[in-house]
Amino acid sequence: MKKYLSLILIGLSIFIFVGCSSNYEYKKNLTSYSLNLVYDETTQTLDATQCVDYLNTSDNTLSEIKFHLYANAFREGAKASVVSLANTQKAYPNGKSYGNIQIESVKIGESDAQFVVGGEDENILEISLTNELFPNDRITICIDFIVTLANVNHRLGYGENAVNLCNFYPIACVYEGGDFVCDLYNSNGDPFYSEVSNYDVQITYPKNYILASSGNKIEDIENDTTKTTKINAFCVRDFGLVLSNKFETKTKKYDERVNISYFYTSDDNADDTMLLIENALNFFEEKIGQYPYESISVVETNFVHGGMEYPNLVLISDDVEDYSTYRLVIVHELCHQWWYGVVGNNQFDYGWIDEGLTEFCTVYFFDNYPEYERTMENMIRSATFSYTTFMKVYSDVQGQVDTSMNRALDEFNTEPEYVYNTYVKGTLLFSTVYELVGAKKFDSALKYYYSNNLYEIVTPTDVIKCFSRGTGRNLENLFNSYLEGKVQIVAK
């Protein structure tokens, strides 16, 4: 995601503000989701049936399976807030509005299954299995549910221009260390964590709407008033959709492999935007490795933050202040296809892994395209200045400041503290590595890190190991000095 800060440091320029496709064989054995969705614009609801062919990839025998219900964070009375206080007005311009997910039934085979909507905040669907599920065995679970959408400019909700349908369905919690990981929604960062899966999705919606989504569109079936679109996706970490009756679209084939689509409601520079998308794909493929999917959609929509990444789909806020920043957000979100999408990490516990590297690779991109008039030197200088200024102001106000990076989203005291330690300091960490080893070795490390972790989940230890091996330098102390908050960063 791309965050904006409007609080503190008024007047300070902060630059960050802001599969497997050809390789399907790589992971045939994945959990598969089949979703049948009906969007009703009069009730602002999504009526859904979801069948999950769940694969037990753990070494343990399971007697229950847990799914995140992120949509319940939007309900009245939720403990978790979906936006910070500072962003509430921007997210809810028409006043507070609520949504939720209602689980209607859960079936295993033909039988009703026992289930509980639990967790700390009605955020987890816990399904009891009648028969234990052994490692490498599968079970099919079908869930009927209704999502009620809030009027909110967020990942899930309807706004003035579009309906964002992201993080709306029960998605399996990652099982690790002998248990399911069930973190609460958090207004800081992207509180999501999931494994790559295959998807088969069908959605019915009013005929005058245009659909943008993850995956590959297979078929459109129209009748008098509605349209039904069938989509599939392979080896993706999540699945998102956006609907609008105001979209204009541009499409182009990239390298005869990837269908680029751009959905927007107001962009006087749409041709330039298409070129930017192509340039970004080209640069990241050259520096990191091949984009392994057949489609990528960039969608301008009502969204409280700068942007948000989903597999094959990125949301860009229609409220970005200027076109130069709009470009920055697009490149950042596209880079997430590599860092978060293909190479995954626990975004709740280690946000810096994908955000820090994505932000630095965005800087790297602009440094290689002088026509966009941003150099690495200027961007890093600006990042260093904003980081040191923020930390000074913060420590003056608070008396002390925690600059460690390896913190879960709920361990940051404020949204700015999260943003500066994750995005800005993450950028500075990778730029320090870049300066230390030089472009050639840094590029080798990017490729090494990517190719060794395709479709997997990395930890901080994996990142340090890969960058050390990829550059041929032991970077453990350097990484740890940043992560533990020991490094002294001074303005250049």
Where along the sequence are the contacts to Zn ion (CB under 5 A)? 1, 355
> Which is nearest to 233 in space by CA: 297, 182, 298?
297
Q: Which two tokens stand for residue 104?
A: 């209607």
- For Zn ion, which is the closer residue by CB, 70 or 338? 338
Is the CB of residue 198 less than 8 Å from the CB of residue 33? yes
Nearest approach, Cβ of 463 to Zn ion (angstroms)? Answer: 16
Q: Tokens 């064989």 sit at which residue?
A: 25
The owner of tokens 């399971």 is: 62
Q: Which residue is it, tokens 């070129």?
A: 275
Name the residue nearer to Zn ion (CB basis): 1 or 242.
1
238 versus 355: smaller Cβ distance to Zn ion = 355
Closest to Zn ion by CB, 158 vs 340, is 340
- Closest CB to Zn ion among 157 and 307? 307
Minimum separation from the CB atom of position 206 to Zn ion (A): 32
User: With contact defined as beta carbons under 8 Å apart, do 143 and 91 qualify?
Assistant: no
- What minimum distance in Å lies between the beta carbon of 54 and Zn ion? 29
Which C-beta is closer to Zn ion: that of 355 or that of 417? 355
Give me the residue whose beta carbon is nearest to Zn ion.
1
CA distances, 425 to each of 115, 183, 184, 187, 485 (Å): 43, 24, 25, 20, 10
Which CB sits closer to Zn ion, 1 or 103? 1
Give the CA count within 13 Å in the CB-facing half-sphere of 204: 13
Q: Which is nearer to Zn ion, 203 or 357 (CB)?
A: 357
Q: Name the minimum Å distance from CB 406 to Zn ion.
A: 18
Smallest gap from residue 2 Cβ to Zn ion (A): 5
CB of 331 to Zn ion, least distance (A): 11
CB-CB contact of 259 with 295 (8 Å): yes
Provide the minimum distance between the beta carbon of 342 and Zn ion in the complex, in angstroms, as a whole number: 15
* Nearer to Zn ion among residue 91 and residue 331 (C-beta): 331
Residues 6+ apart with CB under 8 A from 215: 199, 201, 231, 232, 233, 236, 239, 295, 311, 312
Q: How far is the CB of 283 from Zn ion (least distance, A)?
A: 17
d(CA 72, CA 47): 15
Nearest to 205 by CA among 71, 69, 36, 49: 36
CB 314 to Zn ion: min, Å: 10
Between CA 84 and CA 245 the distance in angstroms is 29
Q: Nearest to residue 185, comparing CAs of 424, 483, 460, 408?
A: 408
Question: For strand 62-68 and strand 171-172, is the pairing parallel, antiparallel, or unpaired?
Answer: antiparallel
Assigned token pair, 409: 């989203």
What CA–CA distance (Å, rounded) separates 401 from 484? 13
- Give the single-character DSSP code of 421: I
